[in-house]
Structure 1
Amino acid sequence: MAYNVIFGQPCLKENLVIFAWSAADILGVDPQIIVHKLNVIPKVKPMKQKKRKFALQVVEAVRQEIAKLLSVCLIKEVEYLVWVSNVVVMKKENGK
C-alpha cells in the first residue's frame, strides 16, 4: 500500500503497519471497542432539517462511501422516523 502522506513524527513512519489507513484495515476489531452511538436526550423534541439537494457527483460519492462502510460492517442501517440530519460532504486534501 502506498502512503502519499508526509509524516512529521518518526514514530508514525516506524510503525506504519499498526495504524488503520482505511475502513478495510480494521476488520476483526470488536465493535464494542470502537462503536459510536448518538447521545440523545429522550425528553428533548427532535429537530428535522429540511432535505437538501446535492449535485449528482456528490450523491454518487456519498453512496460509494456508504457502500464501502457497510461492506466492512463499520456502519449499519437504522431508521429514525422522527428526525433527520443532512449529510455534510467535504473534499479531502488530495481532492477526492
Structure 2
Amino acid sequence: MTTFDDRERAFETKFARDEELAFRITARRNRLFGEWAASAMKLTPEETDAYAKAVVQADFEEAGDEDIVRKVLSDLTAAGIELDEAAVRAALEAQTIEARRQLIGVA
C-alpha cells in the first residue's frame, strides 16, 4: 500500500506544480498583453505599468480570456486605434507564447 500512497502523493504534487505554472504563465501573458496594448496606445512608462496591472486585474472578472480581450479591444477603440478582435486575439496568443518562453524556455 505504501507504493500506491507514494504514487498518489507524487501525482498530487505534480498537479499542484502544473497548476501553479499555468497560473504564472497566464499572469505573465496578461501583463505582456497589457504592455503590448499600452505600446499601441503610446502610453508613458508609468501609464504602461498601471495599464498592464489593470489588464491582469481584469482577468479575474470572469473565467476565460473574454474579459481581457473585451477590455483591451474597448480601450484600443477608445484611443482611436483600429484593430479588430482577430488582431487582438492574435496578439494575445503571441503573448502566451512569449510568457511560456520566459517562464519555462519552451515556445
TM-score with structure 2 length normalisation?
0.26
Higher helix share: 2
Instruction: Identify the structure with bigger relative contact order (alpha carbons < 8 Å, sequence gap 6+).
Output: 1
Q: TM-score, normalised by structure 1?
A: 0.28
